[in-house]
Amino acid sequence: MTMRILLANDDGIDAPGLALLERAAALISDDVWTVAPAAKRTAAGHSLTIARPLTMEKRGERRYACSGTPADCVLTAMTWLFRDDTKPDLVLSGVNDGRNVAEDIAYSGTLGVAREATFWGLPAIGLSRVKKPEVGVGDAEWLQSLILRLWNTRADWQGDRQFLSVNLPTRLPAQLVQPRIGRDKVGIRAEVLSTSGDTTEITIERSRQDTTTPGDENAHLAAGKATVTRLLWSGETPLPAGFVEALG
């Protein structure tokens, strides 16, 4: 298939999840490009590096490590790598080391990649998987099939300001479902590392509440299902009638 695919992530250029995504993408096209952070950038959201130098290290054919954030990987690809060349047909992000559900949707660098791609008018899919998955020999082929099914139906989900978030369970293959977005706060505990006078050094633990309600992403993942959610990065929610006028 003649199709240009751009891959990125937030776990870094050497992450196992990115290697899995590269294998799956290679089964779809021979025009696959990877631009990923040089180091792990979890919870980087959609932050960008503007007016400060970025280092792009070539790691192989069509493969680069970027010193910046996950979203920088799309930005550098579009403004540098593909500036005078064919733009990607599809942007894939992940496969993230850990689910991206509930509040993660706002924090996630994986989804920051997909969101940035939509700013350039590109179809984008962020892929995440639960921690410590049981990786099987056929995972890349199943992922290839899923990506192709989503690509071939993009007219039904790709729209202005829209992209997909896919969460994968422990084992593949898995049934696909559309979940309800739940609530599951991450970063709920701080550990004091040291105190000296008025200065205290703390670290926020990689913790989450692990809350779930029937039909949300966590419930479906616990049942061994893969979830597919269409996200909208911006939209209007009208204020109550007369609210602005009352402000004067």
pLDDT digits 0-9 by tens, 16-44:
999 999 999 999 999 999 999 999 998 88
Residue 186: the pLDDT is 81
Return the beta strands (E) in the chain as ranges: 4-8, 31-37, 56-60, 63-66, 90-97, 124-129, 162-168, 176-177, 190-196, 199-204, 226-232
Is 203 within a domain? no
Is 199 within a domain? no
Residue 70 to residue 92: CA distance in whole angstroms: 12
Residue 232: the pLDDT is 92
How many folded domains does the chain comprise?
A: 1
- List the one residue out of 122, 155, 129, 123 whose CA is nearest residue 143: 129
Is 155 within a domain? yes
Average pLDDT over the chain reads 94
Is 164 within a domain? yes
Q: Would you list the DSSP string of 99-130? A: ---TTHHHH-HHHHHHHHHHHTT--EEEEEE-
pLDDT value at 235 more than 90 = no
Residue 208: the pLDDT is 79
pLDDT tens digit sequence for 158-201? 988 999 999 999 999 999 999 999 998 888 889 999 999 999 99
Residues spanned by the domain of 164: 4-184+212-247
Supply the CATH number for residue 136's domain: 3.40.1210.10
Residue 4: the pLDDT is 98
Is 142 within a domain? yes
Residue 106 to residue 165: CA distance in whole angstroms: 12
pLDDT value at 206 more than 80 = no
pLDDT value at 1 more than 70 = no
Residue 240 to residue 238: CA distance in whole angstroms: 7
- Phi, psi of 106, rounded to the nearest 5 degrees: -80, -35
List 93's β-bridge partners, or say none.
8, 126
Q: Residues with Cβ < 8 Å from 31, sequence gap 6 or more?
A: 2, 3, 4, 5, 62
Residue 184: the pLDDT is 84
Structure tokens at 164: 């997909």
Its pTM stands at 0.93
Q: 147: part of which helix (H) or strand (E)?
A: helix 139-152
Structure tokens at 147: 């990506």
